[in-house]
Structure 1
């Protein structure tokens, strides 16, 4: 990827373009830029290849039992639905059928990957693409200024070396329909992606520890920022990372 201003603007949008998450204006902007920029076109093609590899690896978890029970329950309510529809005969039938179809679609059509899954997939992509960091440094004086001009907010950077978590650098990623900061730490042989972006309404609601794509994921909010940490570390160590960040002041 080049350092041209338009390339820097388009780069964090490529993941959103791939996943179909951009609005029409940003989609058109990215497509026009890719058509004219060989470097960005190559980067986008790499993302396509990586996604196909991830899908081919069949990393997704099987449907949990609670989801199966919900589906079975919905199927079991088929007879109740039929009884509900009987009164809607004659002229009212088309409207009733449309209402029932709308309710069914709302109930069973997936609404896209949850945010925890997006975080895990971004972590996997960063490892597979050898694109873990765009700025390589253990010095927060180098990493923090690098984000200036690339994001519309200043992500907090934490010096956690004394607690065993070494700063490795950072990059711009795309999550939750917006560019975000990915601050990377290392703990022994383990890599931790700490995704940070401004808190939105509802972000402060508790999110239990997650396992997505085989990786542990944790979420919390601090200093007006929504924070998502993901790593192949065991759950206890990632929980300790969260506690250390919560107890630390940004540098």
Structure 2
């Protein structure tokens, strides 16, 4: 059950979806391809990555499998070079690498709680930053670069108003949003509930519902928001510097 889009197609634009060979990443890749984008399918496994490439292209998409392994620097460099040589730029990075950090209520007054959230999410944030740093030269060549950091959270952010980051992934998102704002590159985070979505193995249709917010953020127009964090309830709040 594909998502309903605005009808505006993004021909000649290119997106990289990391972990695009399964579950949520696979659905997001399909939706971006349906919007008219060339989609690079990042995956560790060549077998599954190529299988998804064949499946998507058979349905009329423009999909290209690329190896994506943050633990293998030569592979990562080779992938970035391949995208540069074949497309010249990236318009969208959907970063499926912030996988575990729970959110903490920033108004709780618990310094220990905030520190625990940052400590738990630090490896996720480092993966997010590694992927962004590797692809940023290509994103900077786009007129409308978009970075979406997709994070798994078992506790949705509950604040209804703008607040400071409460996870390391949000801190990384705010950093890049601030640095890249003047270049028109929009950077946002979105939390998805791994328990309810099943990352593609939950109830029928659930993964498409979960994919809606990452896809929306990837397709933002020039007037779209930056430095936001969207919770599993779909509520977006602005991230504020300390």
What is the TM-score with the length of structure 1 in the denominator?
0.29
Question: Could you say which structure has the larger radius of gyration?
Answer: 1
What is the TM-score with the length of structure 2 in the denominator?
0.30
